[in-house]
Structure 1
Amino acid sequence: MSDNMIEETVRRLLANEVSRELLTAVEAGAFAGALWQTIAESGMTKILCREAHGGIEASWPEALPLFYQVGYTQAPVPLAQAVVGQYMASRCGLDLAADSVFALAAGAQTRSLELSSHEAGKPATLSGTMTAVKWARHAHWLVVETAGCIALVDARESGVRIEPKADAASLPADTVVLDQAVVSHALAAGIAGLSRPLEVCYAATTAAQLTGALDYALDLAVQYAKDRVQFGKPIGKNQAIQQQLAVLAGEVACSYAAATTALRDLPAIHQHSAPQAEFSAAVAKVTASDAVRTGASIAHQVHGAIGFTYEYPLNFATRRLWAWRAEAGTSTEWAERLGQAFIQAGSDQFWPNLTARTLPSAVGAAGGADGHAGSMQAERNATHA
């Protein structure tokens, strides 16, 4: 299946199924079950998986339209989480149901967790509290990255308690309390140069979602500037508004470039090395998150008061932008990680790693020619970060 076919399929499906009524119902606590079943039956959740597990072994860039369209349509489903979860499971030989709902937890969310060691005849367990775990109340599986391990936990088993919470978009962002929850499967991703594959994949897909939602805000603002007439002419004729819309378009373009680079550097299902993935994911998440701050402000300035009303679609897009900006690691957390890695490596390692798009710990693993080919884009992204 070509990327154009994937893009057209997901665009048409979400455009037809995502309505204001559905968005409102999910924000009130419902789950979009019918839409989720349609997505699962289309094969989208397993797009990256091995053919033996029902996938098509697509690359991450080929899956970009899924994450982008979830953002553009604000589809209230955990599609990105399912794609990442199914990918991790398939890498480790697990064939899970296509309609499984996944909740992902990594980074700061899992720092308080304790992973018990394997004992003879007993499985490992997890104990502790995780906050702001998206879609946990609806999840079949919790994918938890902690202590150098990716653990798959059955969310419906004993030892898992979920306290419903909501994010800025009024979508599930629950507190999960684990009390010796049994680890059903310990996933060994086996990706050289990538110590935290779940966190990195989650950040890259979230950056792509942010790009889609920001592009939607741009389209709304441009159309409103054409339609809104003051003093006998559309407000889009004013040079000040044109300049602001150009800034917003530039933020979308930068975010899109960073997100596509991050997805390109993630390993496909049969690849076992990704030396550039963590650097690119960090840059993408920082770039997209910072673009939200500027872009959402401009979109609302163009719309004026109407953009804040619950009845207007920009309200839904903006709240998701705010919520996703804090998901999969904040821009501050990722920027600090980049900064600390380069500071600890010393000045001699700065330029070689920057032009190779690698963190200092992964230097030497990337091919020189490929690294230098992306040096100009890497320089712009790192400066933005």
Structure 2
Amino acid sequence: MADSEIFTILRDQTDRLLAEHVTREALAAADGGAWPEALWTTLEEAGLPLAMVPEAAGGAGLAPAEALLLLRRAGYHALPLPLGETMLANALWVAAGGRAIAGPVTLAPTAAEDVIEMTLAGGKTTVHGHLAGVPWGERATLLVLARAADGADHLALLAPPSLAAKPRRNLAGEPRPTLQLDGAIAIETRTAPPLAQAGMRALGAALRAQQMVGAMEHALDHALTYANERQQFGRPIGKFQAVQHMLAEAAGHFAAATAAADGMIAAFGGGDMLLAAAVAKARVGEAAGKVAEIAHQVHGAMGFTQEHTLHFLTRRLWSWRDEFGNEAEWQRLIGRRVLAAGGAALWPMLAGA
């Protein structure tokens, strides 16, 4: 989908960088709660957190399609850092007229019906609300979509030390605290740009869909390699029909998920972005569960050991499918959209997608 010269260079550079630095030891340390400071510095030196920021504003100037494909590589390597959140947050903030944000940034995982209120008093802007499961919310600067008293939507930046946090980690060991925003003072606010109209939850769903596609690809690579190397009854287990059937089923789910994620990329920033995000997150999440299951079935007991790296991928797949809305939530949105449009609009909707 993306073949610009700068994208090709960044993609190859990203793969080499992540293959070198996201080691089993680094992932195990992140599981234990360590922040990979050196790895984050390496990402910043490579310009990846600002990949979606225009060159005039100090970024790499990648198109959304190219930047989102880069995030698949981050998912492939199970990167234990908020690179995707930072890329999207910087794209939003710069589009709103702000300067690129230093350090890691995260997105408030709010749905369309969640209202984070913003008030101005005494020359200070305060934000009020409750957020559960904020990615890296204890450490990263938080970007919130907040509503002012006049009904206008704004982006607000909040510093992590100013927020009351209740620690929590997902199944992959990634920080997902609950944040209480009542009275939190914003560092700066900006009028929300058009890109924010779909909502933070949709942007996060788009991000997680790309990451899951990457992680599924790596899990399948592991399964195929193991099936061709593991000998049973004098031949590789990949020669047995039952194993071939499982791998074919996983490949089918992966192909469907990739198509849905590609559709999300094509719709990014457009009027159909919310629906595309819903379709992508629902279909990719469903596929993630099946691919993780089959990958472990192929590996047998070996895949469940701490020594094998498969669990770093599958634990993320199981976690990411529930973040920024699970399949049921997004399927309900799709259903409501289809019913509201009426039966005559169903086929044009499908054909247009």
**Matched residue type, 2:143:** V
Give the counterpart letter for 1:102 in structure 2.
Answer: V
In 1, the alpha carbon distance for the partners of 2:213 and 2:79 equals 14
| CA distance in structure 2 between the partners assigned to 1:64 and 1:166 by the alignment | 25
Q: TM-score with structure 1 length normalisation? A: 0.84
| Structure 2 partner of 1:75 | 79
User: Is residue 2:37 matched to residue 1:37?
Assistant: no
1:371 corresponds in structure 2 to none
**Alignment match of 2:334 (pick from 315, 333, 338):** 338
User: Counterpart amino acid of 2:80?
Assistant: P
Tell me what 1:370 maps to: none
Q: Which runs of 5+ in 2 are unaligned?
A: none
**Contact 2:111–2:200 (8 Å) recurs in 1:** no
Kept after mapping to 2: 8 A contact 1:310/1:316: no
Partner Cα distance (2:85, 2:109) in 1: 12
The structure 2 residue matched to 1:184, chosen from 180, 183, 187, is 187
Which residue number corresponds to residue 377 of structure 1? none
- Residue 162 of structure 1 deviates from its aligned partner by 1.7
SS in 2 for 1:103: strand
> Could you tell me how far apart the structure 2 residues matched to 1:233 and 1:177 are?
57
8 Å Cα contact 1:214/1:252 also seen in 2: yes
Among candidates 319, 324, 348, match of residue 320 of structure 2: 324
> Which contiguous aligned blocks of 4+ residues in structure 1 show a shift greater than 6 angstroms?
none
| SS of residue paired to 2:132 | strand
SS at match of 1:124: strand
What residue identity is the alignment partner of 1:70? A
Deviates more, 1:194-203 or 1:81-90: 194-203
* Aligned-partner Cα distance in 2 for 1:83–1:225: 36
TM-score (norm 2): 0.91
Q: Alpha carbons of 1:248 and 1:205: their partners in 2 closer, same or farther (altered >3 Å)?
A: same
Residue by residue over 1:305-328, the C-alpha shift from the partner in whole angstroms, topping out at 9 and shown as x without a partner, is 111112111111110101111112
**Alignment pair present for 1:145 and 2:149:** no
Amino acid at match of 1:215: E
- Residues 206-253 of structure 1, C-alpha deviations (whole Å, 9 max, x = no match): 101000111111010011111111111111100111111011112112
Q: 1:150 to 1:327 in 2, by over 3 A?
A: farther
Q: How many residues align?
A: 345
- Paired with 2:321 and 2:104, the residues of 1 have a C-alpha distance of 22
Partner of 1:8: 12
Picking from 301, 308, 314, the partner of 1:312 is 308
Deviations 1:273-330 (A, max 9, x none): x112122111111111000121111111111111111211111111010111111211
Q: Match of 2:135? A: 134
Tell me the alpha carbon deviations over residues 65-92 of structure 1, each in whole angstroms, 9 at most, x when there is no partner. 4211111111111100000011011101
Q: Is contact 2:107–2:144 with CA below 8 Å preserved after alignment?
A: yes
State whether residues 106 and 145 of structure 1, in contact with CA within 8 Å, keep that contact through their aligned partners in structure 2: no
Q: Aligned residue for 2:266?
A: 264
Matched, 1:302 2:298: yes
- 1:352-376 deviation per Cα after TM superposition (whole angstroms, max 9, x unaligned): 333333xxxxxxxxxxxxxxxxxxx
